[in-house]
Amino acid sequence: MTAFSLSQLKSYTNQHFQSEGYTQSEDSTLIVGADSASFQYPQQFMLYNRSALKHPVGLLMYQAIVELKEEKIRYSADSIFVQNYIRNRYSRYVADNKSPQPLSEWQQRWRDKQQDRLNQQIEKSFEEQLQQLIDAIQQQKIEQVNVTNLEDW
């Protein structure tokens, strides 16, 4: 990476935030530090499930912080929250009416939910295999009874 002086980093960063590449929404505010070497701004992006179909499961919102030092840039995220998405009555994905959850709580609930699904899948698979075995045994018994009846005739 090319070395930049602090004044170059400041001017390039200011240019970036004032360009069309950085679009501010109505509720986002760029906060520039008194020394103009730090910038804070809200960011967000959609989270999708990992299935074959791409369905949103939430909106990740956080406060991005860019700090500039001589030839260094530090990018960090603070106040990370997730807004859950659900299907509405028109089968479109929309944010639910609950307040956003901290990322750590959301991740734990997501893991628990996925674990429950896994347990349900395992249980269903066992039940299906057991039912197939029972059906096969019953089928063999019916066939044996039919053979016995033919021999008695």
* DSSP-assigned letters across all residues of 6-58: HHHHHHHHHHHHHSTTS---TT---EE-TTSSEEEEEEEEEEE-SSSS--EEE
pLDDT tens digits, residue range 116-126?
877 887 788 77
18 token code pair: 């004032």
pLDDT, mean of residues 90-113: 86
DSSP state letter for 89: T
35-71 confidence digits (pLDDT tens): 667 778 787 888 887 766 778 888 888 888 888 777 7
CA-wise closest residue to 85 among 108, 64, 112, 106: 106
Fold for the domain defined by 1-99: Alpha-D-Glucose-1,6-Bisphosphate; Chain A, domain 4 (3.30.530)
| pLDDT at position 11 | 75
Evaluate if pTM is beyond 0.85.
no
Q: What is the pLDDT of residue 21?
A: 59
Cβ 74 vs Cβ 90: under 8 Å:
no
Are the C-beta atoms of 13 and 28 separated by less than 8 Å? no
